[in-house]
Structure 1
Amino acid sequence: MSPRSSSGFPFPPKPCSPSLSRTLPPCLRVIPVRDATKLGRLRELASSRQLDALILQLPENVVYVTDYWPLLGMTFVVFPVDGEPALVHSNFETEAKTWIKDVRIAVSESVTEVADAFANGLEVVRQVLEDRGLARAKVGYEGSFSSVGTGFLKYRTNSVTPGSLETMKRKLPGVSWEDATDLLYEARSIKTELELEKLRVANEVSGFGLEAMYLGLTEGVREVDLATKIENASVTRGVGYRGAEHVIACAFVSSGEFTAETYGVCFGNSPKKLRKGDFVMLEYDVVVDGYSSDMSRTYVVGQPDLKQRHLLETVYEAQVEGVRMEKDGLPAKEVCKKAEDIIRKGGYGEHLKHYFGHGVGVTIWEPHPYIHSKSSDLLKAGMVHSAEPGAYVHGYGGVRIEDNVFLSRSGPVYLSTYRPIQE
């Protein structure tokens, strides 16, 4: 099996490696930049639906439009089709670092008043709409998001519930509402150059954790301790790296025969100790200033034996050859079928459990492109997705190798580069 460096795919200009990551000059503050390409695409899609504006509250959409990653999820964005956006910011949040000039404060609570943060935010949104002549506008909202990205406080998530919509209708009585979920997903599926740079950083910060995993594969180490070490590496080395301010890392480590069950029962991060010869699988999600990476690695404690090596190389070949065929306009299902064919030829057809990949961006899991053998999606230049084929042999062990890939106009580019397979 040839290493990826000779597979023909271009690497990002600054791949994650210990020597490089330690010599880059620190940058302690990100300066948000207005992404005209992204905003223009969103306006075009909203206009095609005859919408006058979008009102957004989910942290993933707030960061998408404004570059500000809300701490609590109490922030609103008013995005007119004509004119500049406004940010309605809770007094409970940190200072909003954003390029937006119209930033208004909504009082969530004070020493003299117990307030309804959501309703108070909408009251300020109403003022924005009146100021912009949009009090009776047709507005798109986040009506049916099924997978919701968190704010910086990862234990708090927000969603637009039926009760939330009723409050919105009550506070903004002149507005007519339309669910814009599919519009937002479509806009987010194509990444701009500025977004791509954010995703590169997220992948490089993830690489710090992958390195910690590889160096920490020691007999007797507990799964939970290895997971903690992985997360700690990305957070401590990631904050300040290439301007990163906030980093969330979530590592899920399983070992031995339980690596075959990783897509069934949630085994892992347990007190179980690694044994020599064990498969060790990492599912690793990292978010840097609101942009995500979604990675997996499978290594062996010690050196893989011939049987393990065959499974590892089969899955690796499936990933590389699936990615190699990607181009603008190709049906996504063809990539998945290619990878599955390789895994079947390797003798693991009955051990396939899932698709080849999914979109990655302001959430870990974006619906486009959905790279499944039954998918109707077409690959488009500008998309970023996971590439995560796997084979899971019950009672023996499983292998998944997952990287993030950017589809440029000239072909696929790996965003993640750290040791895809054990040498």
Structure 2
Amino acid sequence: MQAAGMESITLLWNQQPVFWIIWRNPTLVRNVPFLQEEKQEAGGFKFISPSATHLARRRFPIDRYEQLQHKMIAAGLDAVICRLPENVLFLTGYWPVSGIGCVVCPQVGNPVLIATDLEEQYMIKNRIKDVRFVPYGTLSSGDIYEQTTVVLREIADEFDLIEKKIGYEASFETIAPPMNSAEPTIPAQRTAAMIKAVFQGPDLLDATGILNELRAIKSPYDITQLQIVHEIAESGLAVFVDMLKRGAREIDISSAVEAEIARYGFGYKGMQHVRAWAQLMTGKRSSQAYSPFPASSVKEVQQGDMAVLELAVVADGYWADLTRTRAVGSATNEQLNAYRAIMEAQGKIRPLLREGNTGAAVDAAGRKIIAGAGYASGFIHLTGHGLGYKYHEPVPMLHPESHDVLQAGMVTSVEPGIYRAGEWGIRVEENVVITKDEPLYLSAFLTDLI
């Protein structure tokens, strides 16, 4: 049965018949999640192919390797080896389970992914054709570094990389976890020694700058993945709003938020693995919610509390970083004024989130609004930071001293906040995709204080 305002015709796509749908009513499109992207206007109708759309939104940007290879040529590198899960995700589309494997990207030729044999079942989103598995996890598997060394030597011989210049992730101090976030594996001394022993070249070179520069620009595929993780995050925000009542404990609310996100997110639009970290600080504790390390407690929510929820969500390696503040019951006039200043700052910043503006200019615009409302001393942190493959990324920075120039495809948080020491705190954090024109906000969840 066809819905009102819908007709159907059959067209050829790649020489195959495809059932296309013509939607006369845009509302119908908005109500069907997997039809929300890849729309084409034609003759006043909206032509959308469910099958073509579904494929397009999963398409991984293969030109990413070419971009890396150009950077390697400029830096004098013959290959780059990445082991951190966030960089393996960036280069392959696959979010590693443990972080034990790596991806080898030669300056000439196609990349090679090395992974444990236990991970093959999770590689639905991997876009690397050349995957080489090493045994792991049993008594007969042997040492994983020795097994990896054997495969790396094969790759070094195949791509003529012996005694060549190799780049690796030397300067990543904070990292995103693998799927098994309980026990991340990082490239430390033993990894560096293994690479040096195999390739026998000069000292390893730091490729961190190259990787961060490339990672700052998200592809349409990446943005689709980020839209999905934000939809999942909103399921947890709804629980936060519903459970925030006098007498409830911070830890009970935050753990319920995390549980709902896992329940809702697993399998949602193809996501295999979802995890959340919800940190709730209420009452006087909310005045310290600016901390990079907020934490829930056993404190019971009281009438009149400000409740600041800092929420990190990861789905198949893509991250959301959202903050919402709610008043429990009522708010004072000062708190309402501070909230209005924050939302006015958000509004002032919005038109500046486009290609060509600097991070410092964006920060200054919001900071000026808050200072004008009398809360300059209460806005004590930066306005925003990059995100996407990690909870917090270094590019772009919306900071008073930032020289970062916004480019289309960058993703940043926008999080003005005001804090009264020992009393209360208020922050509203959005995640935004920079474009040449209007910015794309990844979450539409309510920001109301009450």
> TM (normalized to structure 2)?
0.84
| Residue equivalent to 1:104 | 132
Change (3 A) 1:149 1:130: same
| Residue equivalent to 2:74 | 48
Change (3 A) 1:234 1:271: same
Residues 250 and 298, structure 2, Cα contact 8 Å, conserved in 1: yes
**Separation (CA, whole Å) in 2 of partners of 1:173 and 1:33:** 37
| Residue equivalent to 2:116 | 90
Change (3 A) 1:368 1:266: closer
Cα distance per residue 1:377-399 (max 9 Å; x no partner) = 11111100110111110122001
> Does structure 1 residue 148 correspond to structure 2 residue 180?
no
Pairing of 1:320-399 with structure 2 (within 5 A):
320-399=347-426
Matched AA of 2:104: V
Matched AA of 2:82: L
| Residue equivalent to 1:165 | 192
Pairing of 1:115-126 with structure 2 (within 5 A):
115-126=142-153
SS at match of 1:408: coil
Cα distance per residue 1:152-205 (max 9 Å; x no partner) = 011222332234312321233247621100100000001111111111111111
Cα distance per residue 1:67-115 (max 9 Å; x no partner) = 11111111110112222111111134353332222111112343335x3
Matched AA of 1:144: S
Residues 71 and 94, structure 1, Cα contact 8 Å, conserved in 2: no
| Residue equivalent to 1:67 | 93
**Separation (CA, whole Å) in 1 of partners of 2:317 and 2:70:** 24
* Residue segments in structure 2 that go unaligned for 5+ positions in a row: 1-25, 37-49
SS at match of 2:323: strand
Once the two structures are TM-superposed, the CA of residue 306 in structure 1 deviates from its matched residue by 2.7
| Residue equivalent to 1:312 | 339
Residues 156 and 198, structure 2, Cα contact 8 Å, conserved in 1: no
Cα distance per residue 1:279-312 (max 9 Å; x no partner) = 1001110011011111111111124343322111
**Separation (CA, whole Å) in 2 of partners of 1:151 and 1:174:** 29
Change (3 A) 1:349 1:39: same
**Separation (CA, whole Å) in 2 of partners of 1:118 and 1:344:** 55
Matched AA of 2:232: V
| Residue equivalent to 1:271 | 298
SS at match of 1:347: coil
Residues 85 and 177, structure 2, Cα contact 8 Å, conserved in 1: yes
| Residue equivalent to 1:3 | none
Matched AA of 1:214: V
SS at match of 2:434: strand
**Separation (CA, whole Å) in 2 of partners of 1:333 and 1:411:** 19
> Which residue, 80, 86, 97 being the options, matches 2:106?
80
Change (3 A) 1:64 1:335: same
> TM (normalized to structure 1)?
0.89
RMSD, matched Cα: 2.6
Change (3 A) 1:136 1:33: farther
Residues 258 and 267, structure 1, Cα contact 8 Å, conserved in 2: no
Once the two structures are TM-superposed, the CA of residue 265 in structure 1 deviates from its matched residue by 8.9
Higher relative contact order (CA 8 A, sep 6+): 1
Matched AA of 1:335: V
**Separation (CA, whole Å) in 1 of partners of 2:74 and 2:135:** 35
Change (3 A) 1:318 1:39: same
> Does structure 1 residue 193 correspond to structure 2 residue 220?
yes
**Separation (CA, whole Å) in 1 of partners of 2:174 and 2:184:** 10
Residues 145 and 159, structure 1, Cα contact 8 Å, conserved in 2: no
Pairing of 1:283-322 with structure 2 (within 5 A):
283-322=310-349
Pairing of 1:171-182 with structure 2 (within 5 A):
171-174=198-201, 177-182=204-209
**Separation (CA, whole Å) in 2 of partners of 1:31 and 1:403:** 23
* Residue segments in structure 1 that go unaligned for 5+ positions in a row: 1-12
Count residues with an aligned counterpart: 405
Matched AA of 1:69: W
| Residue equivalent to 1:8 | none
**Separation (CA, whole Å) in 2 of partners of 1:231 and 1:39:** 35
SS at match of 2:113: strand
